Amino acid sequence: MKALFLTIITILVVAIGAQVYKNYAAPVVPYVQPQENNNQERPPLSFEGDVFPTELKTDPATGDKIFEGLGVRFRVPGEFSAYVWTVTPGKIESVIVQTPEDEKRAKEILAQENLGGKGFGPPATGVSFELNEEHLTLDDRIRRGGLRKDQYDLINIAGEDAVRFESQSAGGPVVYFVTPNMRYIVTIGIGYEEFQGYGNIVQYQKAFDYILSTLEFTQ
């Protein structure tokens, strides 16, 4: 697997002590273009069932990308590309958010040969869903991740307790929580490599904050 996506899954999963699955297939990267409103009736923006969507819908009124699945709904600002990526179907699945320019650079990196498993890709904000097979509580997850009390803050997201900390391995903030039905551990994080010249993450902080502010539980 190319280094870019290994880096992204490190950002989203390793930062909280989860196991990294290797040798997975390259992801499908659909890009949803914002649509004109034209005063037409807005189509449904929801997905049914306990499933991970194959792509994100676009709100024609705002251009926002909308994720709805696995009991969670959130929005991504319209100026970003947002695509789904399945690592291990049903166990680790993610939404990757990048600027169109960084998405283009990511594709160019993927197209390069002889990377040798080295190097890093452009920055990204990501949302990862990990199946909570052991029915861990948030406290269990904190202990499993090895975080000390002085290393994280307890916050509230959509009425549920969550953990926020700065991840040295990811290079940016990470938030994680357990969904109310205990089925998934959700991780939201920013990853970048400052020494590679990708240190300006203001836009990714915007996407991170917007996802957190619009997140809600549907189950």
Q: Are strands 160-167 and 153-157 parallel, antiparallel or unpaired?
A: antiparallel
Contact 97, 125 (CB under 8 A): yes
Spatial neighbors of 69 by CB under 8 A, at least 6 apart, are 47, 50, 51, 52, 53
Q: What DSSP character marks residue 149? A: G
Residue 126, C-beta contacts closer than 8 angstroms, at least 6 positions apart? 8, 11, 12, 94, 95, 96, 97, 187, 188, 189, 190, 191
CATH: 3.40.720, 3.40.1000, 3.40.50, 3.30.2450. Which one for 57-217? Answer: 3.40.1000
- Which residues make Cβ contacts (< 8 Å) with residue 67, sequence separation at least 6? 53, 56, 73, 74, 75, 76, 82, 95, 127
- Residue 19 contacts by C-beta under 8 Å, 6 or more apart in sequence? 13
Helices 3-12 and 100-111: crossing angle in degrees, nearest 10, is: 130
State the average pLDDT over residues 33-37. Answer: 35
Cα–Cα dist 201/182, whole Å: 32
Q: Within 10 Å of residue 150's Cβ, how many Cβ atoms? A: 5
Quick: pLDDT tens for 171-184: 678 999 999 999 99
Q: Which residue has the tokens 């990511």?
A: 106
- For residue 191, the cross-strand partners are 124
State mean pLDDT over 110-120. Answer: 57
Per-residue pLDDT band for 18 (boundaries 50, 70, 90) equals very low
Q: DSSP label at 27?
A: P
> Distance between CA atoms of 132 and 113, rounded to whole angstroms?
36
Domain map of the chain by residue range? Answer: 57-217
CB 19 within 8 A of CB 130: no
Give tens-digit pLDDT for 60-103: 999 999 999 999 999 999 999 999 988 788 889 999 999 999 99
CA dist., res. 212 & res. 127, Å (int): 10
Listed range (30-39, 58-67, 83-92, 122-131) with the worst mean pLDDT:
30-39
Q: Which of 97-101, 111-115, 147-151, 195-199 has the lowest mean pLDDT?
A: 195-199
* 167 or 148, which is more confident: 148
Average pLDDT over residues 19-31: 27
